[in-house]
Amino acid sequence: MRAAGQIVAAILDLLKGRIKPGVTTAELDRLAEEECLRRQAKPAFKGYGGFPFAICSSPNERVVHGFPDKKPLREGDILSIDFGVIFQGFYGDSAITVPVGEIAPETEQLLTATRESLEKAIEKAIPGGRLSDISHAVQSWVEPRGFSVVREFVGHGIGRQLHEAPQIPNYGEPNQGPKLKAGMVLAIEPMINAGVPGVRILDDGWTAVTQDGRLSAHFEHTVAITDHGPEILTRL
């Protein structure tokens, strides 16, 4: 899982470096697929439940599961990329939200709060804790900052399957649910909205957008719980 996680991290880092005004998400998708091939990994999402692409690309008000397309990114946009691979039988899964050129200060605040909420959640991925400590860490970080937690999508266990038990909501009271143990691997992924928490699905059957059309951010890491604390497998 370390090897799979490092491939995900390296490819996401490469994609991040390409993001600028004028670039299309279709180009990023093609690059992700080529890089998988070069590393003898397979894109985890392509074909998953019929999803047709290597990356999920979700600009601006799109929350998750967006389709790459040929529309050029514009200065001031934000772009969430969710990406996973399978390598030698194991999955890695990670997501980042990246500014396109200069973004507004309040947009930067959304990205910062979402990234920080993931860090706070990861700190709770320790033996002896309970699953909902992770959930609570996200909610209690972003809501006081004026942002809202998407309810319809959640983090998940990961291993030989992309989505394994347990589901990991990004909200809830602490000290509930399964006890966390060394050896568990979790994909923790806050999806945070600037406005209302509600989402709707576009006619493509996949793309989730915010109900109010305001921005949404998404960060994810695959995290192993060890006796020495959390190990982030999808960090370079």
Q: What residues make contact with Mg ion under the rule CB under 5 A?
A: 82, 93, 95, 187, 220
Instruction: Compare residues 65 and 124 and give the one whose CB is closer to Mg ion.
Output: 65
Instruction: Compare residues 29 and 82 and give the one whose CB is closer to Mg ion.
Output: 82
Instruction: Compare residues 15 and 187 and give the one whose CB is closer to Mg ion.
Output: 187
Instruction: Compare residues 147 and 219 and give the one whose CB is closer to Mg ion.
Output: 219
Mind giving me the DSSP string for 59-78?
ETTEEE-PPP-SPBP-TT-E
Residue 64 Cβ vs Mg ion, minimum distance, rounded to whole Å = 8
Residue 16 Cβ vs Mg ion, minimum distance, rounded to whole Å = 15
**How far is Cα 189 from Cα 158, in angstroms, rounded to an integer?**
12
> Taking Cα atoms as reference points, which of 39, 33, 46 lies closest to residue 4?
39
Give the phi and the psi of residue 190 in degrees, each rounded to 5: -65, 130
Residue 203 Cβ vs Mg ion, minimum distance, rounded to whole Å = 23
Residue 146 Cβ vs Mg ion, minimum distance, rounded to whole Å = 25
**How far is Cα 200 from Cα 212, in angstroms, rounded to an integer?**
10
- Bridge-based pairing of strands 164-168 and 148-149 is unpaired
- Bridge-based pairing of strands 199-201 and 208-210 is antiparallel
Strand partners, 99: 78
Instruction: Compare residues 103 and 168 and give the one whose CB is closer to Mg ion.
Output: 168
Residue 30 Cβ vs Mg ion, minimum distance, rounded to whole Å = 19
